[in-house]
A and B are shown apart, each in its own frame.
Chain A
Protein backbone atom coordinates (compact mmCIF):
# COMPACT_ATOMS: atom_id res chain seq x y z
CA UNK A 1 0.00 0.00 0.00
CA UNK A 2 2.76 2.37 0.95
CA UNK A 3 4.39 1.84 -2.39
CA UNK A 4 1.26 2.62 -4.35
CA UNK A 5 0.46 5.66 -2.27
CA UNK A 6 3.99 6.94 -2.64
CA UNK A 7 3.90 6.18 -6.32
CA UNK A 8 0.73 8.19 -6.74
CA UNK A 9 2.00 11.10 -4.71
CA UNK A 10 5.33 11.18 -6.56
CA UNK A 11 3.42 11.04 -9.83
CA UNK A 12 1.45 14.13 -8.89
CA UNK A 13 4.65 15.84 -7.78
CA UNK A 14 6.40 15.28 -11.07
CA UNK A 15 3.24 16.29 -12.87
CA UNK A 16 3.20 19.55 -10.96
CA UNK A 17 6.89 20.22 -11.53
CA UNK A 18 6.51 19.54 -15.21
CA UNK A 19 3.62 21.94 -15.48
CA UNK A 20 5.54 24.61 -13.58
CA UNK A 21 8.57 24.32 -15.83
CA UNK A 22 6.66 23.94 -19.08
CA UNK A 23 4.58 27.06 -19.07
CA UNK A 24 5.59 29.53 -16.46
CA UNK A 25 4.02 32.24 -18.63
CA UNK A 26 0.64 30.77 -17.77
CA UNK A 27 1.10 32.11 -14.27
CA UNK A 28 1.30 35.64 -15.55
CA UNK A 29 -1.97 37.26 -16.51
CA UNK A 30 -2.58 38.19 -20.11
CA UNK A 31 -2.85 41.92 -19.48
CA UNK A 32 0.55 42.03 -17.78
CA UNK A 33 2.09 39.87 -20.48
CA UNK A 34 0.76 42.29 -23.05
CA UNK A 35 2.16 45.16 -21.07
CA UNK A 36 5.57 43.50 -20.87
CA UNK A 37 5.55 42.88 -24.58
CA UNK A 38 4.64 46.47 -25.27
CA UNK A 39 7.27 47.78 -22.87
CA UNK A 40 10.68 47.39 -24.42
CA UNK A 41 12.30 49.60 -21.78
CA UNK A 42 15.04 48.29 -19.52
CA UNK A 43 14.11 46.64 -16.28
CA UNK A 44 15.04 49.54 -14.02
CA UNK A 45 12.92 52.05 -15.88
CA UNK A 46 10.00 49.62 -15.93
CA UNK A 47 10.26 49.14 -12.19
CA UNK A 48 10.39 52.90 -11.73
CA UNK A 49 7.32 53.54 -13.80
CA UNK A 50 5.45 50.94 -11.85
CA UNK A 51 6.52 52.52 -8.61
CA UNK A 52 5.47 55.92 -9.83
CA UNK A 53 2.02 54.68 -10.70
CA UNK A 54 0.70 52.93 -7.59
CA UNK A 55 -2.84 52.85 -8.82
CA UNK A 56 -1.79 51.06 -11.97
CA UNK A 57 0.19 48.56 -9.92
CA UNK A 58 -2.79 47.89 -7.69
CA UNK A 59 -4.95 47.37 -10.73
CA UNK A 60 -2.43 44.97 -12.16
CA UNK A 61 -2.36 42.95 -8.93
CA UNK A 62 -6.11 42.86 -8.81
CA UNK A 63 -6.18 41.69 -12.39
CA UNK A 64 -3.61 39.06 -11.58
CA UNK A 65 -5.67 37.73 -8.71
CA UNK A 66 -8.86 37.79 -10.70
CA UNK A 67 -7.61 36.43 -13.98
CA UNK A 68 -5.10 33.65 -13.44
CA UNK A 69 -5.15 30.03 -12.31
CA UNK A 70 -7.50 31.06 -9.55
CA UNK A 71 -10.55 29.94 -11.57
CA UNK A 72 -9.06 26.50 -12.12
CA UNK A 73 -8.28 26.08 -8.44
CA UNK A 74 -11.64 27.44 -7.44
CA UNK A 75 -13.32 25.10 -9.83
CA UNK A 76 -11.46 22.17 -8.38
CA UNK A 77 -12.26 23.18 -4.82
CA UNK A 78 -15.84 23.64 -5.81
CA UNK A 79 -15.86 20.18 -7.31
CA UNK A 80 -14.46 18.68 -4.13
CA UNK A 81 -17.91 17.55 -3.25
CA UNK A 82 -17.76 15.65 0.02
CA UNK A 83 -21.47 15.68 0.62
CA UNK A 84 -23.10 15.31 -2.73
CA UNK A 85 -25.84 12.77 -2.48
CA UNK A 86 -26.92 11.20 -5.71
CA UNK A 87 -27.84 7.88 -7.27
CA UNK A 88 -24.86 6.26 -5.53
CA UNK A 89 -26.86 6.09 -2.31
CA UNK A 90 -29.77 3.97 -3.53
CA UNK A 91 -27.37 1.96 -5.67
CA UNK A 92 -25.22 1.00 -2.70
CA UNK A 93 -28.31 0.37 -0.56
CA UNK A 94 -29.64 -1.95 -3.24
CA UNK A 95 -26.28 -3.68 -3.51
CA UNK A 96 -26.22 -4.11 0.24
CA UNK A 97 -29.67 -5.70 0.29
CA UNK A 98 -28.78 -8.03 -2.57
CA UNK A 99 -25.54 -8.96 -0.83
CA UNK A 100 -27.51 -9.67 2.33
CA UNK A 101 -29.89 -11.99 0.50
CA UNK A 102 -27.02 -13.72 -1.30
CA UNK A 103 -24.92 -14.18 1.82
CA UNK A 104 -27.97 -15.44 3.68
CA UNK A 105 -28.59 -18.00 0.94
CA UNK A 106 -25.03 -19.27 0.63
CA UNK A 107 -23.48 -18.55 4.02
CA UNK A 108 -25.51 -17.64 7.09
CA UNK A 109 -28.43 -20.03 6.77
CA UNK A 110 -26.69 -23.14 5.38
CA UNK A 111 -23.57 -22.94 7.51
CA UNK A 112 -25.59 -21.98 10.60
CA UNK A 113 -27.87 -24.96 10.06
CA UNK A 114 -24.89 -27.22 9.42
CA UNK A 115 -23.18 -26.10 12.61
CA UNK A 116 -26.40 -26.45 14.60
CA UNK A 117 -26.94 -29.98 13.31
CA UNK A 118 -23.36 -30.93 14.09
CA UNK A 119 -23.67 -29.56 17.61
CA UNK A 120 -26.90 -31.49 18.07
CA UNK A 121 -25.26 -34.70 16.81
CA UNK A 122 -22.28 -34.26 19.11
CA UNK A 123 -24.53 -33.56 22.07
CA UNK A 124 -26.63 -36.65 21.27
CA UNK A 125 -23.52 -38.81 21.06
CA UNK A 126 -22.22 -37.46 24.35
CA UNK A 127 -25.60 -38.26 25.96
CA UNK A 128 -25.42 -41.78 24.57
CA UNK A 129 -21.98 -42.25 26.06
CA UNK A 130 -23.23 -41.24 29.48
CA UNK A 131 -26.21 -43.62 29.25
CA UNK A 132 -24.14 -46.67 28.29
CA UNK A 133 -22.09 -46.69 31.49
CA UNK A 134 -24.78 -48.90 33.19
CA UNK A 135 -24.83 -51.15 30.20
CA UNK A 136 -21.08 -51.51 30.34
CA UNK A 137 -21.25 -52.54 34.00
CA UNK A 138 -23.86 -55.17 33.19
CA UNK A 139 -21.74 -56.45 30.35
CA UNK A 140 -18.75 -56.65 32.64
CA UNK A 141 -20.74 -58.69 35.14
CA UNK A 142 -21.89 -60.96 32.38
CA UNK A 143 -18.34 -61.42 31.24
CA UNK A 144 -17.22 -62.25 34.79
CA UNK A 145 -20.00 -64.83 35.11
CA UNK A 146 -19.05 -66.40 31.82
CA UNK A 147 -15.44 -66.55 32.92
CA UNK A 148 -16.38 -68.19 36.21
CA UNK A 149 -18.52 -70.79 34.47
CA UNK A 150 -15.80 -71.50 31.99
CA UNK A 151 -13.25 -71.92 34.76
CA UNK A 152 -15.53 -74.33 36.64
CA UNK A 153 -16.13 -76.31 33.51
CA UNK A 154 -12.47 -76.54 32.77
CA UNK A 155 -11.57 -77.69 36.26
CA UNK A 156 -14.32 -80.28 36.17
CA UNK A 157 -13.10 -81.56 32.85
CA UNK A 158 -9.56 -81.61 34.19
CA UNK A 159 -10.59 -83.64 37.23
CA UNK A 160 -12.50 -86.07 35.13
CA UNK A 161 -9.62 -86.52 32.78
CA UNK A 162 -7.24 -87.06 35.67
CA UNK A 163 -9.49 -89.72 37.12
CA UNK A 164 -9.85 -91.50 33.83
CA UNK A 165 -6.17 -91.45 33.18
CA UNK A 166 -5.41 -92.82 36.62
CA UNK A 167 -7.89 -95.65 36.18
CA UNK A 168 -6.50 -96.55 32.84
CA UNK A 169 -2.99 -96.48 34.13
CA UNK A 170 -3.89 -98.72 37.05
CA UNK A 171 -5.59 -101.15 34.76
CA UNK A 172 -2.59 -101.27 32.51
CA UNK A 173 -0.35 -101.74 35.51
CA UNK A 174 -2.46 -104.58 36.78
CA UNK A 175 -2.46 -106.22 33.38
CA UNK A 176 1.26 -105.89 33.15
CA UNK A 177 1.72 -107.41 36.56
CA UNK A 178 -0.54 -110.26 35.71
CA UNK A 179 1.30 -110.99 32.52
CA UNK A 180 4.64 -110.87 34.23
CA UNK A 181 3.45 -113.23 36.93
CA UNK A 182 2.07 -115.63 34.36
CA UNK A 183 5.27 -115.59 32.45
CA UNK A 184 7.20 -116.12 35.66
CA UNK A 185 5.04 -119.06 36.64
CA UNK A 186 5.48 -120.59 33.21
CA UNK A 187 9.17 -120.10 33.33
CA UNK A 188 9.33 -121.70 36.81
CA UNK A 189 7.27 -124.63 35.63
CA UNK A 190 9.50 -125.13 32.65
CA UNK A 191 12.53 -125.02 34.88
CA UNK A 192 11.04 -127.61 37.24
CA UNK A 193 10.35 -129.88 34.28
CA UNK A 194 13.80 -129.60 33.00
CA UNK A 195 15.23 -130.35 36.41
CA UNK A 196 13.08 -133.45 36.76
CA UNK A 197 14.07 -134.58 33.32
CA UNK A 198 17.69 -133.91 34.06
CA UNK A 199 17.37 -135.83 37.29
CA UNK A 200 15.71 -138.73 35.40
CA UNK A 201 18.47 -138.75 32.83
CA UNK A 202 20.96 -138.63 35.59
CA UNK A 203 19.32 -141.66 37.29
CA UNK A 204 19.61 -143.75 34.13
CA UNK A 205 23.12 -142.74 33.56
CA UNK A 206 23.97 -143.42 37.16
CA UNK A 207 22.67 -146.93 36.58
CA UNK A 208 24.78 -147.34 33.46
CA UNK A 209 27.81 -145.85 35.17
CA UNK A 210 27.43 -148.09 38.22
CA UNK A 211 27.05 -151.08 35.91
CA UNK A 212 30.21 -150.09 34.10
CA UNK A 213 32.06 -149.46 37.31
CA UNK A 214 30.90 -152.84 38.55
CA UNK A 215 32.04 -154.58 35.37
CA UNK A 216 35.33 -152.81 35.50
CA UNK A 217 35.97 -153.42 39.14
CA UNK A 218 34.79 -156.86 39.21
CA UNK A 219 36.58 -159.12 36.80
CA UNK A 220 34.23 -160.66 34.46
CA UNK A 221 33.28 -163.49 36.29
Chain B
Protein backbone atom coordinates (compact mmCIF):
# COMPACT_ATOMS: atom_id res chain seq x y z
CA UNK B 1 0.00 0.00 0.00
CA UNK B 2 2.72 2.39 0.96
CA UNK B 3 4.89 1.57 -2.03
CA UNK B 4 3.71 4.21 -4.41
CA UNK B 5 3.51 7.20 -2.08
CA UNK B 6 6.94 6.32 -0.80
CA UNK B 7 8.38 6.16 -4.29
CA UNK B 8 6.99 9.57 -5.00
CA UNK B 9 8.46 10.77 -1.79
CA UNK B 10 11.81 9.28 -2.80
CA UNK B 11 11.56 11.00 -6.13
CA UNK B 12 10.94 14.29 -4.45
CA UNK B 13 13.75 13.51 -2.07
CA UNK B 14 16.18 12.96 -4.92
CA UNK B 15 14.95 16.17 -6.46
CA UNK B 16 15.65 17.95 -3.18
CA UNK B 17 18.99 16.25 -2.56
CA UNK B 18 20.37 17.27 -5.89
CA UNK B 19 19.89 20.79 -4.57
CA UNK B 20 19.32 22.02 -8.06
CA UNK B 21 16.78 24.71 -7.92
CA UNK B 22 16.38 25.09 -11.63
CA UNK B 23 14.15 27.93 -12.57
CA UNK B 24 13.34 28.79 -8.98
CA UNK B 25 13.03 32.49 -8.57
CA UNK B 26 12.57 34.96 -5.78
CA UNK B 27 9.87 37.22 -7.11
CA UNK B 28 9.45 40.89 -6.40
CA UNK B 29 6.42 42.78 -7.54
CA UNK B 30 7.07 46.15 -9.08
CA UNK B 31 4.04 47.97 -10.39
CA UNK B 32 2.15 44.74 -11.03
CA UNK B 33 5.09 43.25 -12.92
CA UNK B 34 7.24 40.44 -11.62
CA UNK B 35 10.97 40.61 -11.37
CA UNK B 36 13.59 38.00 -10.51
CA UNK B 37 15.09 39.45 -7.38
CA UNK B 38 18.05 37.08 -7.14
CA UNK B 39 19.23 38.09 -10.61
CA UNK B 40 18.86 41.74 -9.78
CA UNK B 41 20.75 41.41 -6.49
CA UNK B 42 23.68 39.52 -8.00
CA UNK B 43 23.86 41.89 -10.94
CA UNK B 44 24.11 44.79 -8.48
CA UNK B 45 26.98 43.03 -6.75
CA UNK B 46 28.70 42.44 -10.09
CA UNK B 47 28.28 46.08 -11.09
CA UNK B 48 29.53 47.19 -7.69
CA UNK B 49 32.63 44.98 -8.06
CA UNK B 50 33.33 46.36 -11.53
CA UNK B 51 32.83 50.01 -10.70
CA UNK B 52 34.62 49.74 -7.36
CA UNK B 53 37.73 48.05 -8.70
CA UNK B 54 37.89 50.41 -11.68
CA UNK B 55 37.53 53.48 -9.48
CA UNK B 56 40.21 52.26 -7.07
CA UNK B 57 42.68 51.30 -9.80
CA UNK B 58 42.23 54.06 -12.35
CA UNK B 59 41.34 56.98 -10.11
CA UNK B 60 44.75 58.59 -10.44
CA UNK B 61 46.66 57.21 -13.43
CA UNK B 62 50.44 57.20 -13.16
CA UNK B 63 52.87 57.45 -16.06
CA UNK B 64 54.56 54.34 -14.72
CA UNK B 65 51.50 52.21 -13.92
CA UNK B 66 51.02 50.60 -10.52
CA UNK B 67 49.67 47.05 -10.14
CA UNK B 68 45.94 47.71 -10.42
CA UNK B 69 46.34 50.30 -13.13
CA UNK B 70 48.61 47.94 -15.02
CA UNK B 71 45.92 45.25 -14.92
CA UNK B 72 43.19 47.57 -16.16
CA UNK B 73 45.47 48.93 -18.88
CA UNK B 74 46.04 45.35 -19.97
CA UNK B 75 42.28 44.70 -19.99
CA UNK B 76 41.64 47.87 -21.97
CA UNK B 77 44.32 46.95 -24.50
CA UNK B 78 42.82 43.49 -24.78
CA UNK B 79 39.37 44.93 -25.48
CA UNK B 80 40.74 47.48 -27.93
CA UNK B 81 42.60 44.72 -29.70
CA UNK B 82 39.48 42.56 -29.87
CA UNK B 83 37.37 45.41 -31.23
CA UNK B 84 40.05 46.37 -33.72
CA UNK B 85 40.32 42.81 -35.04
CA UNK B 86 36.57 42.37 -35.41
CA UNK B 87 35.38 45.83 -36.39
CA UNK B 88 38.46 47.27 -38.08
CA UNK B 89 38.48 50.92 -39.09
CA UNK B 90 36.40 53.14 -36.79
CA UNK B 91 36.35 50.69 -33.90
CA UNK B 92 36.96 53.45 -31.33
CA UNK B 93 33.37 54.38 -30.45
CA UNK B 94 32.45 50.72 -29.97
CA UNK B 95 35.11 49.97 -27.37
CA UNK B 96 32.88 50.92 -24.39
CA UNK B 97 30.05 48.70 -25.65
CA UNK B 98 32.22 45.67 -26.37
CA UNK B 99 34.27 46.24 -23.23
CA UNK B 100 31.26 46.57 -20.92
CA UNK B 101 29.73 43.50 -22.53
CA UNK B 102 32.87 41.48 -21.95
CA UNK B 103 33.53 42.70 -18.42
CA UNK B 104 29.92 42.36 -17.25
CA UNK B 105 29.55 38.83 -18.59
CA UNK B 106 32.99 37.78 -17.38
CA UNK B 107 32.54 39.07 -13.85
CA UNK B 108 28.98 37.69 -13.74
CA UNK B 109 30.10 34.22 -14.80
CA UNK B 110 33.05 34.15 -12.45
CA UNK B 111 30.97 35.50 -9.59
CA UNK B 112 28.73 32.46 -10.03
CA UNK B 113 31.75 30.18 -9.72
CA UNK B 114 33.85 32.03 -7.15
CA UNK B 115 31.59 34.01 -4.83
CA UNK B 116 29.96 32.00 -2.04
CA UNK B 117 26.47 33.08 -2.96
CA UNK B 118 24.89 30.06 -1.33
CA UNK B 119 25.81 31.24 2.15
CA UNK B 120 22.99 33.73 1.78
CA UNK B 121 19.71 31.88 1.98
CA UNK B 122 16.79 33.30 0.10
CA UNK B 123 13.17 32.49 0.94
CA UNK B 124 12.82 31.07 -2.54
CA UNK B 125 15.29 30.36 -5.29
CA UNK B 126 19.00 30.96 -4.79
CA UNK B 127 21.67 33.45 -5.64
CA UNK B 128 23.83 32.49 -8.60
CA UNK B 129 25.51 34.06 -11.58
CA UNK B 130 23.17 36.64 -13.13
CA UNK B 131 23.93 35.11 -16.52
CA UNK B 132 22.18 31.85 -15.67
CA UNK B 133 18.86 33.60 -16.11
CA UNK B 134 17.53 33.84 -19.65
CA UNK B 135 16.34 37.40 -18.96
CA UNK B 136 19.90 38.57 -18.45
CA UNK B 137 21.30 36.97 -21.56
CA UNK B 138 18.46 38.25 -23.71
CA UNK B 139 18.91 41.66 -22.12
CA UNK B 140 22.50 41.54 -23.33
CA UNK B 141 21.72 40.06 -26.76
CA UNK B 142 19.02 42.55 -27.74
CA UNK B 143 21.21 45.65 -27.29
CA UNK B 144 23.74 43.86 -29.48
CA UNK B 145 21.14 43.58 -32.25
CA UNK B 146 20.21 47.22 -31.80
CA UNK B 147 23.91 48.09 -31.85
CA UNK B 148 24.68 46.40 -35.12
CA UNK B 149 21.58 47.85 -36.77
CA UNK B 150 22.61 51.28 -35.53
CA UNK B 151 26.18 50.74 -36.73
CA UNK B 152 25.05 49.70 -40.19
CA UNK B 153 22.44 52.42 -40.57
CA UNK B 154 24.71 55.21 -39.35
CA UNK B 155 27.52 54.07 -41.63
CA UNK B 156 25.55 53.37 -44.80
CA UNK B 157 22.13 54.93 -44.31
CA UNK B 158 19.25 53.04 -45.88
CA UNK B 159 21.72 51.34 -48.18
CA UNK B 160 22.38 49.09 -45.21
CA UNK B 161 19.26 47.10 -46.09
CA UNK B 162 20.83 46.28 -49.40
CA UNK B 163 22.73 43.55 -47.62
CA UNK B 164 19.52 41.54 -47.38
CA UNK B 165 19.61 40.81 -51.08
CA UNK B 166 23.30 40.04 -51.13
CA UNK B 167 24.66 38.06 -52.84
CA UNK B 168 21.30 37.14 -54.49
CA UNK B 169 17.69 38.10 -53.69
CA UNK B 170 16.94 34.41 -53.21
CA UNK B 171 18.74 34.58 -49.87
CA UNK B 172 16.41 37.33 -48.59
CA UNK B 173 14.45 35.05 -46.23
CA UNK B 174 17.62 33.57 -44.81
CA UNK B 175 19.19 36.99 -44.38
CA UNK B 176 16.10 38.20 -42.52
CA UNK B 177 16.08 35.04 -40.45
CA UNK B 178 19.66 35.76 -39.48
CA UNK B 179 18.60 38.89 -37.64
CA UNK B 180 16.51 36.70 -35.39
CA UNK B 181 18.96 33.86 -34.99
CA UNK B 182 21.80 36.15 -33.99
CA UNK B 183 20.36 37.37 -30.67
CA UNK B 184 18.75 33.99 -30.13
CA UNK B 185 21.98 32.09 -30.47
CA UNK B 186 23.91 34.69 -28.46
CA UNK B 187 21.53 34.58 -25.54
CA UNK B 188 20.92 30.82 -25.52
CA UNK B 189 24.59 29.97 -25.83
CA UNK B 190 25.52 32.02 -22.79
CA UNK B 191 22.46 30.97 -20.79
CA UNK B 192 22.87 27.28 -21.58
CA UNK B 193 26.58 27.19 -20.88
CA UNK B 194 26.43 28.93 -17.55
CA UNK B 195 23.34 27.07 -16.33
CA UNK B 196 24.72 23.72 -17.47
CA UNK B 197 28.04 24.44 -15.82
CA UNK B 198 26.43 25.25 -12.49
CA UNK B 199 24.16 22.22 -12.73
CA UNK B 200 27.04 19.90 -13.49
CA UNK B 201 29.00 21.20 -10.51
CA UNK B 202 26.04 21.02 -8.13
CA UNK B 203 24.97 17.54 -9.23
CA UNK B 204 28.51 16.24 -9.09
CA UNK B 205 28.99 17.74 -5.61
CA UNK B 206 25.83 16.03 -4.42
CA UNK B 207 27.01 12.70 -5.80
CA UNK B 208 30.70 12.79 -4.87
CA UNK B 209 31.19 15.55 -2.36
CA UNK B 210 34.98 15.72 -2.55
CA UNK B 211 37.89 16.03 -4.98
CA UNK B 212 36.00 14.87 -8.07
CA UNK B 213 34.07 18.11 -8.69
CA UNK B 214 37.20 20.23 -8.49
CA UNK B 215 38.38 19.68 -12.09
CA UNK B 216 34.84 20.39 -13.24
CA UNK B 217 34.90 23.63 -11.27
CA UNK B 218 38.09 24.65 -13.02
CA UNK B 219 36.52 23.68 -16.31
CA UNK B 220 33.60 25.87 -15.29
CA UNK B 221 35.91 28.83 -14.72
CA UNK B 222 37.46 28.23 -18.12
CA UNK B 223 34.06 27.94 -19.81
CA UNK B 224 32.88 31.11 -18.11
CA UNK B 225 35.81 33.08 -19.44
CA UNK B 226 35.45 31.61 -22.90
CA UNK B 227 31.73 32.41 -22.99
CA UNK B 228 32.38 36.04 -22.07
CA UNK B 229 35.02 36.24 -24.79
CA UNK B 230 32.73 34.58 -27.35
CA UNK B 231 29.83 36.90 -26.57
CA UNK B 232 31.99 40.01 -26.84
CA UNK B 233 33.78 38.77 -29.96
CA UNK B 234 30.54 37.87 -31.73
CA UNK B 235 28.94 41.18 -30.80
CA UNK B 236 31.97 42.97 -32.24
CA UNK B 237 31.91 40.72 -35.31
CA UNK B 238 28.23 41.49 -35.97
CA UNK B 239 28.89 45.20 -35.64
CA UNK B 240 31.91 44.93 -37.91
CA UNK B 241 29.95 42.89 -40.40
CA UNK B 242 27.20 45.46 -40.70
CA UNK B 243 29.72 48.29 -41.02
CA UNK B 244 31.91 46.82 -43.72
CA UNK B 245 31.07 47.37 -47.37
CA UNK B 246 29.41 44.38 -48.96
CA UNK B 247 31.27 42.76 -51.75
| A28 to B33 CA separation, bound complex (whole angstroms) | 39
- Contact of B96 with A by CB under 8 A: yes
Q: Give the contacts of B183-215 with A (CB-CB under 8 A).
A: 195, 201-202, 205-206, 209-210, 213-214
| A64 to B139 CA separation, bound complex (whole angstroms) | 44
> What residue in chain A is nearest B100 (Cβ atoms)?
A100
- Max chain A CB contacts within 10 Å: which of B95, B134, B135, B202? B135
Number of inter-chain CB pairs below 8 Å: 191
Q: Are A69 and B104 in contact (CB under 8 A)?
A: no
| A100 to B104 CA separation, bound complex (whole angstroms) | 9
Q: Are A92 and B63 in contact (CB under 8 A)?
A: no
Q: Are B40 and A100 in contact (CB under 8 A)?
A: no
Q: Are B22 and A80 in contact (CB under 8 A)?
A: yes
- Contact of B36 with A by CB under 8 A: yes
Q: Are B113 and A1 in contact (CB under 8 A)?
A: yes
Q: Are B80 and A112 in contact (CB under 8 A)?
A: yes
Q: Are B50 and A73 in contact (CB under 8 A)?
A: no
| A64 to B1 CA separation, bound complex (whole angstroms) | 9
Q: Are A5 and B205 in contact (CB under 8 A)?
A: yes
A100 touches which one: B72, B97, B113, B206 (CB < 8 A)? B97
**Which residues of chain B are within 8 angstroms of A61 by Cβ–Cβ distance?**
4
Q: Give the contacts of B84-137 with A (CB-CB under 8 A).
A: 95-97, 99-101, 103-104, 113-114, 116-119, 126, 130, 133-136
A73-B12, A82-B134, A115-B73 are known contacts. Are A4 and B140 too (CB-CB below 8 A)?
A: no
- Contact of B169 with A by CB under 8 A: no
Q: Are A12 and B8 in contact (CB under 8 A)?
A: no
| A17 to B107 CA separation, bound complex (whole angstroms) | 37
Number of A residues contacting the other chain (C-beta, 8 Å)? 63
Q: Are A6 and B209 in contact (CB under 8 A)?
A: yes
Q: Are A97 and B13 in contact (CB under 8 A)?
A: no
The segment from B23-31, B156-164, B224-232 that touches chain A is B23-31
Give the interface SS of chain B, mostly helix, strand, loop or mixed.
helix
Number of B residues contacting the other chain (C-beta, 8 Å)? 77
Q: Are B8 and A70 in contact (CB under 8 A)?
A: yes
A5-B205, A20-B13 are known contacts. Are A103 and B1 too (CB-CB below 8 A)?
A: no
**Which residues of chain A are within 8 angstroms of B116 by Cβ–Cβ distance?**
1, 3-4
A79 touches which one: B24, B58, B209 (CB < 8 A)? B24
- Contact of B173 with A by CB under 8 A: no
The segment from A83-91, A134-142, A172-180 that touches chain B is A83-91
| A89 to B34 CA separation, bound complex (whole angstroms) | 11
Extra pairs beyond A80-B23, A88-B40, A108-B99 (12, CB < 8 Å):
A1-B114, A4-B117, A5-B201, A12-B17, A61-B4, A69-B9, A81-B23, A92-B136, A93-B142, A95-B44, A107-B58, A108-B95
Binding site for B on A (CB under 8 A): 1-10, 12-13, 15-16, 20, 27-29, 32, 50, 60-61, 64-65, 68-70, 72-73, 76, 79-93, 95-97, 99-100, 102-104, 106-112, 114-115, 118
Nearest 3 CB-CB pairings of A with B: A80-B23, A88-B135, A92-B139
Could you list some 9 contacts between A and B, CB below 8 A? A9-B18, A9-B205, A28-B1, A64-B1, A69-B5, A73-B12, A73-B15, A88-B133, A107-B54
